[in-house]
Structure formats: structure tokens, C-alpha cells
Amino acid sequence: MTAKLIHGYEVVIGFETHTQLATQSKIFSRAATAFGAEPNTQACAVDLALPGTLPVMNREAVACAIKLGLALGSHIAEKSIFARKNYFYPDLPKGYQISQFEIPVVQGGEVSFFLGDEKKTVRLVRAHLEEDAGKSLHEDFIGQSGIDLNRAGTPLLEIVTEPDMSSSEEAVAYAKELHKIVTWIGICDGNMQEGSFRCDANVSVRKPGQPLGTRREIKNLNSFKFMQQAIDYEIRWQIEQIEDGHAIQQATVLFDPDTGETRAMRTKEDAADYRYFPDPDLPPLHISERWIEEQRAQMAELPRAMAARFVADYGLPEYDANTLTQSQSMASYFEDAVKLAGPKEQEKPLAKMVANWMMGELSATLNSRGLDITQSPIGPGLLGMHVHYVFNQKVSNPKALFKALLEAEFQSFDNLVEQIDALVKAKDLTPMNDSGALEKIIDEVIAANADNVAQFRAGKDKAFNALVGQIMKASKGKANPTQVNELLRAKLAG
């Protein structure tokens, strides 16, 4: 597989993602992590780095790391080490950030996803536990800046990939897949506006066959749309620079959504600049096999495993299985609908039909109304019933029934079958299943179209289709096309 070239250049992208862990309290203190509190109301003595305070590891944050490692097929280190990353910034009261450096808790692993119908796998280097910093607030109207330390000490897992991605589309697809996984396993709320899932994209370009180019790191991409725009801009910019004879300087850059451009914020520090060393206040983190097994037992089925099961058990195409496991609510909607659509023996064709309606008509309806699946006006039970009617040919026009169900306001779901039967009748959607009535129509059409009949007998297939069309029309679309075909062929042969 060859990478896509842009003006003769190959693109190389690696991601560092900060996921904020959904714990009640901070990583090394008991202060709350809730979003949106008054500034500095959730920063305790430890977060403020008052002298004499000591960090105490939050067990829940470690459990999140274990879950992530299990979900991504990583090695979970039996022993990992916390290190101090030293730098000065107003929002960092200790003068260092507690992070992991040489021995992170999660090592290796991978994330697989589909880009169109091509399967991609991005290898992970590591994921390490660390604390977040505070936030500077610039109050322009009084010409002052303040510091809010509520976020200081919030637990993060920084997830680092190998430079395995080769286009902005692939990078965005990776980020979406990772976002799906961390929210699915419940370690992160995934709220990108609130900064719970922040991506840094490392981007470089090179001529094919050359060693890796110098990268620039785009910081804090907090929407998938900006991520795509920022990376595309950065690729174009780097190629232009090189074509103009300038070398790329390693740098950290910010994306400005207003101009659509990236601009350098600082030249990039090297690890040596941070003077990392093991934090003497924290003992090594030990994770027992038993703790890992406890977490494994508690974990819900993962999206990848669930998609594989949908293929094996329901016979769904891989693409459908992947689409239907975009979220847990989507997946359980699907399985509930299939159960209600009919008996286990017919499960496979019913499942494909449910999948088609979910990915087609239902998803179009939800999109146009700005709703997600949990807000669907047609719940899984009703969609299951709909598929039951369509599958068993109890309705002449499936789309019209779907529309009727959307508009119907069922007072209760008791007697649902009677209610839908009444709806089918009221909307004139009863199919013509009575072959006596159909035979009468066919006889009439044959009698009235002698020339078509003659042409068919002379070997022209088109004439047969014309007759079928006439019959469908005469039945007002209610005849079953398969039945029409069979009966007509029999009559013409006779």
C-alpha cells in the first residue's frame, strides 16, 4: 500500500492525545474535578503546592489506565514510575508537573479503524498518567490576568502514537476511533469543548524514500473539524516552505480557527530541557495481575469485539457492523430491534434489514432533526415492528409505513400490532396478497395488451416488463412484484 502523495510529498503524522479521566477527585489530592466551578474553589493545599503537602495516588485514575491498556491490547506495566517534568509557568504552582517519563503505565498497543472501506492500524507507543496544569484567565477589560487552579491536578492519560498516519483524513479517523474507545469504556466523558479530549498533531512531510522530515506540533485541537483544517493547512505550509528553499524548524504551533492558519508559539523544547527525574514523593506504581483481571471482568464488550460478533452472529457486512458499533446506544438499539423483528431462525435476514433501515431512513431522519439515536422518535421496539411488517410483506409501501410510524403518536405500546394494523389500513398500505384479485387484474392486463403479449411470445423480454408495469399500476402498487412475476409468467406460458 503506497501513501497518498501531495505535490510529490509524503505526509507523516503522529498524535499525542490528552484524555481527561472521569474520576470524582484529582490524581494526587481529594479536591473535586467537576467542570465549571467558580475559579479556585476546587484547588486544595496539594493542588496549590503549599509547603509540607504530599501527593497521594488516586486508585481510580490507575483503574482508568488499566482499562485503556486492556482496550488497546497494550502491555500494562507491573511497575511504573512517576517523574517530575520541570518548567516555569504561572499556572503550575509546584514548578513541575508530575508525569511519567521512562517507564509509563501503558506500553504499546494499537488502534484500528476504517478509512472508507480500507482498514487502518495505528501503533501506540505508550500512554502515561499525569496531572493537568491550571489555567490563565486574561481579563482584557480590566487589563489583568488571573490564575484558576481548579484544573490543576486533574488526572490525564496522554496517549502517544507512532508516526503511522499519512493524511489528515486518516488522522481524524484515528482521533474519532480513540474518542469512541475512551468514552465507550467510560474513562473519559469525551467532551471536546470542555477540553476533556485534546489532541496534539505532529506533522512532517518528506519526499518518498527520504528519512522523516522535521515535525511541527499543532497543540490542543479540540474539534474534529478544526483538526482536519489545521493539519491540511500545516501540510500545505510545510510543502511551500520546502519548495521555497526554507528548512522546517521544529516548533509548537497553534491553530487559529478564525484565520484557518497555524502559527508558531515557541520553538520546541527537547526532553533534556525538562530535567526529568523520578519524583521522590511518590513510590513506584505497582499493578498486580489480580487488579488487571478485576478490571477485565468489569469491562463491557469493546466496540471491535462487538463489531466482530455482529459479523459472525448476524452475518452483517463488516462495514455495517462497524457503523452500528459507533456508540453503545447505537449498538443496543440495533440488537433490541432485531430481537423484536422476528424469531431467532430468521435473525440474519432480519438483522440486515434492521441495519439497512438504521443506516438509511432512520439516520437521515435523525440527521435532519439534529437528534442522536437515544432521542429517536422511533425507538428500537417500533423499528423492530416496522421491519417485521416489511419482512413479512404485510405492507405494500415500506417507506410510507416508516413515515406513518414517524408521525403516529402511539398512546401506549399495548396492542402495538393492532395499532399498526389499523395504521396500515388507514394509510391504504395493505398489500394485495389475495392471488384471486391479482389474477383478475393480470387477466385484464393481458386482454388489453395483445401487442405486448405477442411481442413477448416473439422473444422480447422488454414486453414482459411492460406488462408487469401495467399490473403494478392497476394494483395501485399493492401487488407483490415477485408474485406478479410468477403468475404472469405462468399465464403467458399456458
Those residues whose C-beta lies under 8 Å from the C-beta of residue 197, and which sit 6 or more positions away, are: 17, 18, 19, 20, 179, 182, 188, 190, 191, 222
3-class SS string, 322-348: HHHCCCHHHHHHHHHHHHHHCCHHHHH
Closest CA to 21 of 108, 104, 174, 130: 130
* Residue 12 binds ligand ADP (CB under 6 A): yes
Q: How far is the CB of 5 from ligand ADP (least distance, A)?
A: 16
Q: Segment 178-207, which members bind ligand ADP (CB under 6 A)?
A: 202-204
Range in contact with ligand ADP (rule: CB under 6 A) among 35-43, 128-136, 212-220, 414-422: 212-220
Residue number with CB closer to ligand ADP (12 or 351):
12
Q: How far is the CB of 74 from ligand ADP (least distance, A)?
A: 15
Strands 83-86 and 5-6: unpaired
Among 115, 160, 359, 492, binds ligand ADP (CB under 6 A): 160
Q: How far is the CB of 239 from ligand ADP (least distance, A)?
A: 14
- Write each residue from 130 to 149 as x if it is in contact with ligand ADP (CB under 6 A), else as -, in one continuous string: --------------------
Among 9, 10, 14, 397, binds ligand ADP (CB under 6 A): 14
- Residue 129 forms beta bridges with which residues? 157
Closest residue to ligand ADP, judged by C-beta, is: 14
Q: How far is the CB of 216 from ligand ADP (least distance, A)?
A: 9
Give the three-state DSSP class for 148.
strand
* Residue 96 binds ligand ADP (CB under 6 A): no
* Residue 212 binds ligand ADP (CB under 6 A): yes
Q: How many CB atoms lie within 10 A of CB 42?
A: 23
Please state, in angstroms and as integers, the Cα–Cα distance from residue 374 to each residue in 5, 352, 356, following that order. Answer: 41, 21, 18
Residue number with CB closer to ligand ADP (78 or 102):
102
Residue number with CB closer to ligand ADP (163 or 381):
163
Strand order, beta sheet including 83-86: 96-99, 83-86, 277-278
CB–CB of 450/404 below 8 Å?
no
Q: How many CB atoms lie within 10 A of CB 258?
A: 5
Among 84, 151, 215, 304, binds ligand ADP (CB under 6 A): 215
Range in contact with ligand ADP (rule: CB under 6 A) among 78-86, 139-147, 155-163, 338-346: 155-163
Q: From the centroid of its chain, how far is CA 380?
A: 20
CB–CB of 117/131 below 8 Å?
no
Q: How far is the CB of 164 from ligand ADP (least distance, A)?
A: 7
Residue number with CB closer to ligand ADP (94 or 126):
126
Range in contact with ligand ADP (rule: CB under 6 A) among 55-63, 208-216, 347-355, 410-418: 208-216
Q: How far is it, in rounded angstroms, from Cα 62 to Cα 117?
A: 36
* Residue 271 binds ligand ADP (CB under 6 A): yes
Please state, in angstroms and as integers, the Cα–Cα distance from residue 113 to each residue in 80, 108, 118, following that order. Answer: 29, 17, 8
Q: How far is the CB of 250 from ligand ADP (least distance, A)?
A: 9
Q: How far is the CB of 322 from ligand ADP (least distance, A)?
A: 25
Q: How far is it, in rounded angstroms, from Cα 180 to Cα 160?
A: 16
* Residue 118 binds ligand ADP (CB under 6 A): no
Could you tell me the three cell numbers for 408? 403516529
Among 3, 6, 16, 346, binds ligand ADP (CB under 6 A): 16
Q: How far is the CB of 58 from ligand ADP (least distance, A)?
A: 25
Strands 110-115 and 79-80: unpaired
Give the three-state DSSP class for 118.
strand
Q: How far is it, in rounded angstroms, from Cα 386 to Cα 410?
A: 14
Closest CA to 328 of 319, 340, 336: 336
Among 17, 58, 161, 295, binds ligand ADP (CB under 6 A): 161
* Residue 108 binds ligand ADP (CB under 6 A): no
Count the site residues for ligand ADP by CB under 6 A: 16
Among 102, 162, 240, 443, binds ligand ADP (CB under 6 A): 162
Q: How far is the CB of 211 from ligand ADP (least distance, A)?
A: 9
Among 15, 96, 255, 357, binds ligand ADP (CB under 6 A): 15
Q: How many CB atoms lie within 10 A of CB 457?
A: 11
* Residue 128 binds ligand ADP (CB under 6 A): no
Q: From the centroid of its chain, how far is CA 474?
A: 47
Residue number with CB closer to ligand ADP (4 or 30):
4
Residue number with CB closer to ligand ADP (29 or 202):
202
Closest CA to 420 of 432, 431, 399, 404: 404
Range in contact with ligand ADP (rule: CB under 6 A) among 7-15, 54-62, 166-174, 282-290: 7-15
Judged by the rule CB under 6 A, the positions of this chain that interact with ligand ADP are 12-16, 160-163, 202-204, 212-213, 215, 271
